[in-house]
């Protein structure tokens, strides 16, 4: 399919091609297990080779087409790389690196409200940016469910809040509806 | 949510919550303050609740106050895109600005000045609307369009679109998995590609007629591009989308103009009563029209089963139709044919041919619901009062492409493939001499000794569903673990599913 796509003469849209291969890279990033630094190295080498080819061709007044594959490969690598460095767990201070957040103690949290979500029947919901857990400085976004009866205060976006909370619950266990989990045997 | 980088949630209840007073120093903080001010002014105007909710959604990007009924009606009428601030709003805003700033073009450097003004207005609008991803996306896209138009560099719109996608994806790769992102890019791309094709087919001489025809063409083009995605995500197709759009889009343009005028006037001075009244009327009328369209349910096609394969193949078909339209060669026709053929094989024929029988124990608190799927027929055995509006069943039916359905009451014994399944209910009868079941299903909290049941029946597998007491379930769990028998508890692991 990719070969067919490349061979279509009517597509004279170079940036469209680049974007499509970037998307392929982003989609593939979940299945690629190469470290960020190796990827960065690969991208650097590719760019270097491409520049060399460019100057070689300019000097000898030649036109070659095969390096376009290198460009597309570069785009795929770039997509994977961008996806990897944007993953929140890439940051060392992300709260998911803390071991004790899921145990049953109360934790003191300090966070800034980022966005008010549509409230559910029982809860006000907010996306918040965590600043501190207990005394450790952390980063990362968290979903806060604030029981409707506990307070009538409607927090503004960007207000800083200090509170203590029960254990963190993993989201993916809760967000999947129970009747969709299936277990074939 | 995992894609948005949010992995955990916290429940807060009756705990000491301390808001630290902090002056808003970031851009979003200022935007929030501006919104608060506008909101306070809006409260003083004589709007009805629903009208105010609409103004807040359309102009300030605060959708929280729109009730789910209204939302559902807009979804059914195929006009849900106007409720979120997206490409449509920003596009209209850009057109309005270009119209207002036209006189500037007669001056020297007029183009440049108007571009700067347009960019400033668009981005301040985005900031006031809370810099939500959809708004940022739309504003980025249209800013690029505006810049390209002024620079007159390569008027190739597809490339401009690709550049904006490229920049956005480099900055936020997570957008790639965002439904809104996919929908808006599919819509814009197909408008750019398909609209010229439709233009070459038919147009009117009269300018006003032509304007409405253009609207129709744009909405058809957008719908074609978005159709596979919307079928994949929402499983429904609003058949009257073009009627809705023909009426709602002109309304939206007027509402946006009046709304912005009102917002500006409300801050400076008390706005004209006439303006406020007409704005309220317009919103009411638009709402009533959309509700009327949504009530015509014959034109709404619901519960369409559409999986990832269908999505990919249908976009391949669209792509090659476009290619073939521009270059009618034998090779392109062949590829298009292969695509259509593979759609028929993989999406229509294959699922019907491969035998798909399955048995499902759904999880429902205080009730038992079993499903038996034989290819595209679903037999439901249940003890519910009514079968309507059961989300899990509807979802299952869409996922498994079920065509017919029948219901029955729950039996005592089932044969599933080559296994026997004994259903033990509140009577607790399981000692039947002639039957030797491999699987046992417990429902309605039978008062039995599970140890004794295991000893006498020697089952391979025990299932219990949501109709049992929680204490019973805990006890059974312990018994099964000590007896080393495999079990499935629907309240923990979800529905039980066997394919055979």
pLDDT band at A44 (very low <50, low <70, confident <90, very high): very high
Q: What's the rounded mean pLDDT across residues B58-84?
A: 79
- Predicted local distance difference test score (pLDDT) of residue B7: 54
Domain boundary among A86, A113, A132: A86
Tell me, yes or no, whether A120 and A155 share the same domain.
Answer: yes
Residue A104 lies in a domain: yes
Domain boundary among A86, A111, A131: A86
Of B9, B17, B490, the CB nearest to A171: B9
Is residue B134 a contact partner of residue B158, using CB atoms and an 8 Å limit? Answer: no
A4 touching B (Cβ < 8 Å)? yes
Residue A158 neighbours by CB under 8 Å, 6+ apart: A112, A113, A114, B22, B24, B26, B28, B29, B32
- Predicted local distance difference test score (pLDDT) of residue B324: 85
Residue A6 lies in a domain: yes
Contacts of B132 in chain A (CB under 8 A): 115
Cβ distance B15 to A164 less than 8 Å, yes or no, reads yes
Residue A170 lies in a domain: no
Tell me, yes or no, whether A10 and A44 share the same domain.
Answer: yes
Tell me, yes or no, whether A112 and A54 share the same domain.
Answer: no
Residues B458-496 pLDDT 10s: 888 888 888 888 888 888 888 888 888 888 888 777 778
A100 touching B (Cβ < 8 Å)? no
ipTM of the complex: 0.72
Domain boundary among A68, A86, A104: A86
Tell me, yes or no, whether A78 and A109 share the same domain.
Answer: no
Q: Is pLDDT at B207 greater than 50 in this prediction?
A: yes
Higher per-residue pLDDT: A3 or B278:
B278
Tell me, yes or no, whether A82 and A63 share the same domain.
Answer: yes
Q: Which residues of B252-268 are buried (b: 16+ CB within 10 A; e: fewer)?
A: beebbebbbebbeebee
Q: What's the rounded mean pLDDT across residues B51-74?
A: 79
- Predicted local distance difference test score (pLDDT) of residue A175: 39
Angle ∠(A145,A146,A148) on CA atoms, nearest 5: 125
Tokens of A133: 């857990």
Tell me, yes or no, whether A53 and A119 share the same domain.
Answer: no
Q: Provide the phi-psi class of A140: left if phi over 0, else alpha when psi is between -120 and 50, else beta.
A: left
Report the domain count for chain A: 2
pLDDT band at B129 (very low <50, low <70, confident <90, very high): confident
Helices (H), B348-461: 350-353, 391-399, 450-457
Tell me, yes or no, whether A43 and A111 share the same domain.
Answer: no
Cβ distance B169 to A123 less than 8 Å, yes or no, reads no
Is residue A158 a contact partner of residue B28, using CB atoms and an 8 Å limit? Answer: yes
Of A118, A171, A180, the CB nearest to B64: A118
Distance from CA of B22 to the nearest CA of A (A): 7
- Predicted local distance difference test score (pLDDT) of residue B3: 47
Residue A41 lies in a domain: yes
Distance from CA of B332 to the nearest CA of A (A): 9
Tell me, yes or no, whether A7 and A68 share the same domain.
Answer: yes
Q: What's the rounded mean pLDDT across residues B399-403?
A: 73
Cβ distance A144 to B323 less than 8 Å, yes or no, reads no
pLDDT band at B351 (very low <50, low <70, confident <90, very high): low
Residue A43 lies in a domain: yes
Tell me, yes or no, whether A78 and A106 share the same domain.
Answer: no
- Predicted local distance difference test score (pLDDT) of residue B120: 92
Predicted TM-score (pTM) of this structure: 0.74
Helices (H), B269-360: 273-295, 308-326, 330-343, 350-353
Residue among A169, A26, A175, A171 nearest A86 (CA): A26
Residue A53 lies in a domain: yes
Tell me, yes or no, whether A140 and A68 share the same domain.
Answer: no
- Predicted local distance difference test score (pLDDT) of residue B96: 87
Residue A180 lies in a domain: no
- Predicted local distance difference test score (pLDDT) of residue A184: 39
Tell me, yes or no, whether A31 and A82 share the same domain.
Answer: yes
Mean pLDDT of chain B: 80
Residue A72 lies in a domain: yes
Mean pLDDT of chain A: 72
Q: What's the rounded mean pLDDT across residues A62-76?
A: 81
Q: Which domain holds residue A33?
A: 2-86
Tell me, yes or no, whether A48 and A102 share the same domain.
Answer: no
Beta strands in A21-175 (DSSP E): 107-116, 123-133, 136-137, 141-147, 160-165, 169-170
Residue among B141, B173, B135, B117 nearest B28 (CA): B135
Is residue B133 a contact partner of residue B178, using CB atoms and an 8 Å limit? Answer: yes
């Amino acid at each position: 399919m990719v070969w067919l796509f490349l061979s279509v003469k009517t597509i004279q849209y170079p940036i469209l091609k680049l974007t499509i291969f970037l998307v392929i890279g982003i989609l593939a990033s979940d299945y690629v297990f190469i470290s960020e630094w190796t990827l960065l190295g690969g991208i650097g080498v590719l760019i270097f080779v491409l520049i060399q080819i460019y100057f070689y061709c300019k000097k000898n007044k030649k036109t070659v087409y095969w390096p376009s594959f290198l460009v597309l490969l570069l785009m795929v690598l770039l997509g994977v790389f961008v996806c990897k460095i944007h993953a929140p767990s890439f940051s060392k201070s992300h709260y998911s690196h803390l071991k004790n957040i899921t145990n049953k103690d109360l934790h003191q949290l300090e966070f800034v409200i980022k966005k008010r979500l549509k409230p559910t029947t029982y809860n006000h919901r907010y996306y918040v940016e965590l600043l501190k857990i207990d005394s450790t400085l952390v980063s990362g976004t968290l979903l806060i469910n604030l029981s409707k009866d506990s307070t009538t205060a409607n927090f503004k976006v960007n207000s800083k809040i200090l509170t203590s909370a029960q254990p963190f619950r993993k989201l993916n266990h809760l967000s999947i509806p129970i009747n969709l989990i299936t277990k074939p045997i | 949510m995992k894609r948005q980088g949010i992995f955990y949630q916290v429940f807060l209840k009756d705990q000491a919550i301390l808001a630290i007073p902090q002056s808003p120093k970031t851009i979003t903080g200022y935007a929030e303050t501006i919104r608060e001010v506008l909101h306070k002014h809006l409260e003083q105007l004589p709007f009805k609740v629903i009208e105010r909710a609409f103004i807040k959604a359309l102009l300030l990007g605060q959708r929280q106050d729109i009730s789910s009924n209204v939302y559902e009606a807009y979804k059914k009428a195929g006009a849900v895109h106007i409720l979120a601030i997206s490409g449509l709003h920003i596009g209209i805003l850009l057109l309005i600005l270009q119209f207002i700033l036209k006189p500037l073009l007669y001056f020297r450097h007029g183009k440049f000045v108007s571009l700067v003004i347009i960019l400033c207005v668009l981005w301040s609008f985005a900031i006031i609307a809370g810099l939500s991803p959809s708004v940022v996306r739309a504003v980025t896209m249209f800013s690029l369009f505006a810049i390209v138009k002024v620079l007159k560099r390569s008027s190739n719109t597809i490339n401009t679109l690709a550049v904006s996608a490229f920049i956005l994806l480099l900055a936020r790769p997570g957008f790639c998995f965002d439904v809104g992102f996919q929908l808006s890019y599919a819509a814009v791309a197909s408008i750019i590609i398909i609209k010229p094709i439709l233009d070459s087919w038919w147009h009117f001489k009269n300018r006003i007629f032509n304007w409405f025809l253009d609207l129709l063409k744009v909405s058809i083009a957008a719908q074609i591009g978005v159709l596979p995605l919307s079928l994949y995500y929402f499983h429904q197709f609003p058949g009257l989308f073009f009627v809705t759009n023909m009426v709602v889009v002109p309304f939206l343009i007027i509402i946006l103009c009046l709304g912005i005028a009102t917002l500006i006037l409300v801050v400076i001075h008390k706005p004209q009563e006439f303006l406020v009244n007409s704005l309220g009327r317009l919103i009411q009328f638009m709402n009533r029209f959309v509700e009327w369209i949504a009530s015509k349910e014959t034109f709404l096609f619901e519960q369409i089963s559409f999986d990832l394969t269908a999505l990919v193949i249908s976009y391949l078909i669209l792509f090659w139709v476009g290619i073939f339209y521009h270059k009618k060669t034998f090779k392109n026709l062949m590829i298009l044919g292969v695509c259509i053929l593979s759609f028929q094989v993989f999406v229509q024929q294959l699922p019907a041919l491969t035998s798909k029988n399955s048995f499902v124990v759904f999880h429902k608190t205080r009730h038992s619901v079993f499903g038996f799927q034989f290819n595209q027929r679903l037999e439901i055995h249940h003890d519910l009062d009514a079968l309507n509006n059961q989300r899990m069943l509807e979802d299952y039916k869409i996922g498994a492409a079920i065509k017919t359905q029948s219901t029955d009451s729950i039996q005592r014994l089932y044969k599933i493939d080559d296994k026997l399944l004994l259903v033990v209910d509140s009577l607790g009868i399981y000692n039947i001499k002639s039957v030797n079941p491999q699987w046992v299903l417990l429902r309605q909290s039978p008062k039995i000794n599970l140890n004794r049941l295991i000893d006498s029946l020697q089952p391979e597998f025990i299932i219990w569903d949501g109709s049992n007491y929680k204490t019973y379930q805990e006890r059974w769990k312990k018994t099964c673990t000590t007896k080393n028998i495999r079990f499935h508890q629907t309240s923990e692991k979800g529905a039980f599913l066997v394919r055979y």
